[in-house]
Structure 1
Amino acid sequence: MALARQGDTTALCEVGRRYLLGTDGFPRYLDLGLDYLSHPSLASSVQATMVIADALSLAELARRNLLIVLSTAANAGLVSARLKLGIWRTLTSPDSAEAMSLLVAAADAGCDMAASALVAVRESPSNPGIAILNALLAFPSLEVQQAIVQALATAVRCRDLDFVARVLRQALLLRFESTSELADGVCEALSMLQHRGLSLMTYQSQRVEALLALCVNRGNPAAALLLGRALCGINAASIPSSLLTARRNVRRGSALLLRAADAGYTEAWTLLYRLHANGHGPVANPQMARFFLEKAAEGGSANAQRQLGALLLRSATCLEEAEQGVQWLHMASSVGDPLARQLLSTLLLPCEGSDDEANSAIGAILDEDAWVAYRLRVARDFGLTKVEAINVDVVAGARAWGLVLLTPVPTSKSSIPRVLPGLRPEVLENLRMAVEYFRRSGQTPASSDTGRRQRLQRLRFALERRGIDESLFFVQANSSVLSARRVSSTWAFHSRLKIQAALAD
């Protein structure tokens, strides 16, 4: 100790070795031992490198990111380092040539454990990696099981899917005791692989199910999601349910999915909706299915938002339900869901002409009559008729997702409000600016025939003065066309194909 404090390199290595091993009167204290062996005077010491590689297990070296030390010691000829590095390459490398070379070198230097591994390879040449690892599991001092768990954790941390799949395959095919650490590693690896489209080999489903059940019993919601999905017979992109469990149990699977959903896994709410919406399933329940769909939508699932919006619009009997449906569809569309956007588009009527032409006309009118300019902008953005543009209360009808015609054309058929989504961000920004203008100017909707005639004349004058065709801003539609664009049974009939597409998983 006195020599080590004075910087003697030999003493530093010896003190570090004794702390790492807990021998010759020293307690086992890994951190302190590594501190001695990482002294600046040992920066280029091969001896210190060999002490670390020899004293620490492979799992500990991997956990502490000291595999470069192991590689250096193996290159320097340390037999134990060659054996450990051979095990690591067997676990992590797709090419077994380097691992075999390291094991042969260790065996030639007199390592009995490496020799046993090579004998196992000769007896089982079709799968050398599994043969090597199974043979070395017989030597507890190597801590191969812990190394496998650490390799799986390293693969998950690197997020290399091929690496993860390779180590997972070995972890599930090897014959060793299942532990909570192994179960957690397998669960995390399967969670990473389940939606990545990576083809996996078939394992013994009983063992996988037992590992996931162990995680579930320890309160792991990711395992509850994986096992619950499998028990319900629902396949993931690359993991068939038969890989995780030997037989179905939908009721138990639903209970596990509910546990995962309560823990924050939105996907579980969606799966529960599918199970309970299936009228022929063992847990069919339309009321619960609707509840689960709402929870999934609230959790941010674009598919659930689209499906809920489509359901609400298809069955809407009042303006509130129609608004809720459009709001959910807008949320799904805003994150790129094409089916939600297509369904929303059925509520709009297109104007003629190009946007550039319309923008130029509005710009010419804006300085002279802002009221007309903003009315024209709202009319084109939301596909309004001329009478709708005159009557719409922009301030009261504005929503975060679009516009509601709270003051429709005053006739019996058109008294049903129109719910108009904004399909583009610029449309919603234009609406926000229009709301600010009308709120600031204090101009209220016309409440009499005289007021409506005056507004109509004001619009006509502004357009005729500049020779602007009104079809650039107002749609031409009769009452039957408008009725088909309002949320109603008529709209649902005409849009039934898009509704069916939106309700699909």
Structure 2
Amino acid sequence: MRRQDIQLLAQARQGDLRARCEVGRRYLLGVDGFTRHVAAGIDHLRQAAATDPAAAARVLAECLPLHELLAQGQHAALQRAAAAGSATAQLRAAAWQLARRDGLAEARHWLQQAAASATPAAAAAQPALNALDAAPPAQALRAVLQALDAAGEVDGAAVAAQAVAQAREQGDLQALADALNAALAFDAAPEAALPRDIAAAVQLAEGQGRELRGVDAQAIRDALESCAAQGDREAAYTLGRGLSGLPTPGLSAEVFDGQQNMRKGAAFLLRAADAGCDAAWLHLYRLHADHSLSVANPQMARFFLEKAAARGQAEAQRKLGALMLRESAGLAGTEQAIAWLHAAAAQQDAHAATLLQSLVLPVPGSDAEAAWGIAQVRQSDPWLAARLALARAFGLTKLEGLCVDPLDGQRPWGLVVGRNPFIQQVRLSAPRAIPAVSAAAAGALQQAVALYGQRGAAGEGDLRTRSLRQRRLFERLGLDEALYFADASATTLEALRLGSKWAWRARQPLSEALAA
């Protein structure tokens, strides 16, 4: 370093305002014997600002490029220099004000001030002001940055990138769209970051329940595809829906208008689903279950539905349960189907609850009256009382109510009445699965399981003994069997055990459950 440079530094350290500003300028520009060091330059100018804020701000705003000013958080210095009459600072302040949706009037004011000045910056200010006046509000940032970039006053691509970052941080969708539109105007836009920014804008729009407008449709599609190829599941999910003709809430319909490609869309949806986007499984099911589409495949559709159900989606659980119940030819299939329907109903799926209810035989009468009778029976025979509570809650026939084994028949979703070895007619003795459609049913089952688990059933005797005890207690207490046991024919019971017959019996709610 030259002697005069060392002397200048010494003067700056001693508090000389002019020396501090000059050292700051040289550090910021890297000229006149000083290596460029932005942090050192800002530090010297901060000390100078204690004596003359306007002078220090002017040096900072004129010597440091706008994008670096913003990166260093020097917004206040930029505004102070513009107010102090620096035409260069006024140009830069105008460009940055346009990145805010409410800064249009202030940006025009600064451009007018710069254009009226007798400085070289006026030559750049007038074209920028003309571009601002000619552009619609959504294109204002793009037009002014292009004009100032062409004049060498700002790095348009870098400033646009700063505007994008600020809009993303603030969650301002429209400002983000304007900034992205501006960034797309420059060939030097950061290729790695811009697609991610566009994809993030799409997700922001969908999260806010709005549409991303003002960004080129082709640029959006290219960005989504680029991000999807890099493992972005949300981008793959959006792209898959758009290419498949499915709704994309964050984008207008024009983005994918005429771009449908079912096979490519299904591939992106599968990529999203495999990456953990659970909602994509259900979309894949719908596409592959539609026989009118080129990707139709019933086996794959079922696989995708099972995947969606396993991920906890109520709609998938309901549809899978309904299909399995319709196809069921025995107890094992029925149990699996009820388990899925029960899971969907637990998520407040009304259609699933309706299908479960169709498997429970109705028992007439008042719940309060039935509860009073059960309480009376419990004083003499707690086992019979438990059976009566189960029979009313689960719609059991008298034979089922007196034969059911609560311990063996308990399931997380309800109750299975096992095969009765004492009944020779197959249609009457076959096992039956019944869901718990209410909290009362689940409570009755838990109480019965607790009772039989602690005290066993040794004192109950065989079926004939239970039946005789029940009849005598009912006669003594004046209870009506119809209040506790369902009345159903062998044909009705068989329809509840066999999927195809149940499907005919419950065809309307079944159709609604599969269509919803």
Check whether the contact 1:391–1:445 (CA below 8 A) recurs between aligned residues.
no
1:135 to 125, 133, 147: 147
Q: 1:202 to 1:378 in 2, by over 3 A?
A: farther
Q: 1:376 to 1:211 in 2, by over 3 A?
A: same
The residue number in structure 1 matching 2:387 is: 375
d(CA) in 2 for partners of 1:365, 1:13: 99
Q: Which has the larger radius of gyration?
A: 2
Report SS of the residue matched to 2:193: helix
Normalised to the residue count of structure 1, the TM-score between the two structures is: 0.79
The residue number in structure 2 matching 1:214 is: 226
Check whether the contact 1:393–1:445 (CA below 8 A) recurs between aligned residues.
no
| 1:303 partnered with 2:315 | yes
1:497 to 482, 488, 508: 508
The residue number in structure 2 matching 1:250 is: 262
d(CA) in 1 for partners of 2:114, 2:413: 69
**1:52 Cα deviation (Å)?**
7.6
Check whether the contact 1:293–1:308 (CA below 8 A) recurs between aligned residues.
yes
Greater alpha carbon shift after TM alignment, 9-18 vs 375-384: 9-18
Report SS of the residue matched to 2:431: coil
**1:326 Cα deviation (Å)?**
1.5
The residue number in structure 2 matching 1:452 is: 463
d(CA) in 1 for partners of 2:437, 2:35: 72
2:130 to 119, 125, 140: 119
**1:492 Cα deviation (Å)?**
0.4
Q: 1:126 to 1:318 in 2, by over 3 A?
A: same
**1:296 Cα deviation (Å)?**
1.6
CA deviation digits over 1:371-427, x for unaligned, max 9? 334333333332223332222221222222222222469443234433222234564
**1:288 Cα deviation (Å)?**
1.3
- Amino acid paired to 1:124: A
Q: 1:157 to 1:347 in 2, by over 3 A?
A: farther
- Amino acid paired to 1:271: H
- Amino acid paired to 1:417: P
Normalised to the residue count of structure 2, the TM-score between the two structures is: 0.78
| 1:477 partnered with 2:495 | no
Q: Percent identity?
A: 38
d(CA) in 2 for partners of 1:366, 1:219: 63
The residue number in structure 1 matching 2:157 is: 145
| 1:171 partnered with 2:183 | no
- Amino acid paired to 1:414: L
- Amino acid paired to 2:233: P
Check whether the contact 2:495–2:502 (CA below 8 A) recurs between aligned residues.
yes
1:292 to 304, 309, 314: 304
Greater alpha carbon shift after TM alignment, 211-220 vs 419-428: 419-428
Q: 1:478 to 1:122 in 2, by over 3 A?
A: same
Q: 1:230 to 1:390 in 2, by over 3 A?
A: same
1:347 to 356, 359, 372: 359
Report SS of the residue matched to 1:142: coil
Q: 1:124 to 1:370 in 2, by over 3 A?
A: same
May I ask how many residue pairs the two structures share in their alignment? 495
1:207-286 matches, within 5 Å, as: 207-239=219-251, 242-244=254-256, 246-286=258-298
Q: 1:16 to 1:330 in 2, by over 3 A?
A: farther
Q: 1:108 to 1:405 in 2, by over 3 A?
A: farther
Report SS of the residue matched to 2:415: strand
1:7-406 matches, within 5 Å, as: 25=34, 28=37, 66=73, 69=76, 73=80, 77=84, 86-93=94-101, 96-101=104-109, 103-104=111-112, 112=122, 114-124=125-135, 129=140, 130-136=142-148, 138=150, 142-159=154-171, 163-168=172-177, 171-172=180-181, 175-177=185-187, 179-194=191-206, 197-201=209-213, 204-239=216-251, 242-244=254-256, 246-353=258-365, 355=367, 358=370, 362=374, 369-406=381-418
d(CA) in 1 for partners of 2:491, 2:442: 28
Q: 1:125 to 1:345 in 2, by over 3 A?
A: same
Check whether the contact 1:228–1:254 (CA below 8 A) recurs between aligned residues.
yes
Report SS of the residue matched to 2:98: helix
Q: 1:488 to 1:214 in 2, by over 3 A?
A: closer
Report SS of the residue matched to 2:462: helix
**1:479 Cα deviation (Å)?**
3.3
Q: 1:226 to 1:369 in 2, by over 3 A?
A: same
Report SS of the residue matched to 2:210: coil
d(CA) in 2 for partners of 1:63, 1:467: 87
Report SS of the residue matched to 2:283: helix
- Amino acid paired to 2:515: A
d(CA) in 2 for partners of 1:267, 1:13: 59
**1:118 Cα deviation (Å)?**
1.9
Gaps of 5+ in 2: 1-8
| 1:414 partnered with 2:423 | no
Check whether the contact 1:403–1:420 (CA below 8 A) recurs between aligned residues.
yes
d(CA) in 2 for partners of 1:460, 1:478: 21
The residue number in structure 1 matching 2:6 is: none
Greater alpha carbon shift after TM alignment, 244-253 vs 254-263: 244-253
**1:184 Cα deviation (Å)?**
0.6
**1:272 Cα deviation (Å)?**
1.8
1:488 to 499, 505, 513: 499
Gaps of 5+ in 1: none
Report SS of the residue matched to 1:257: helix
Check whether the contact 2:287–2:295 (CA below 8 A) recurs between aligned residues.
yes
Report SS of the residue matched to 1:419: strand
d(CA) in 2 for partners of 1:278, 1:394: 43
CA deviation digits over 1:37-87, x for unaligned, max 9? 999x98xx88888888777766667778x4874787479658566655544
Q: 1:47 to 1:463 in 2, by over 3 A?
A: farther
**1:205 Cα deviation (Å)?**
2.6
Q: 1:275 to 1:440 in 2, by over 3 A?
A: same
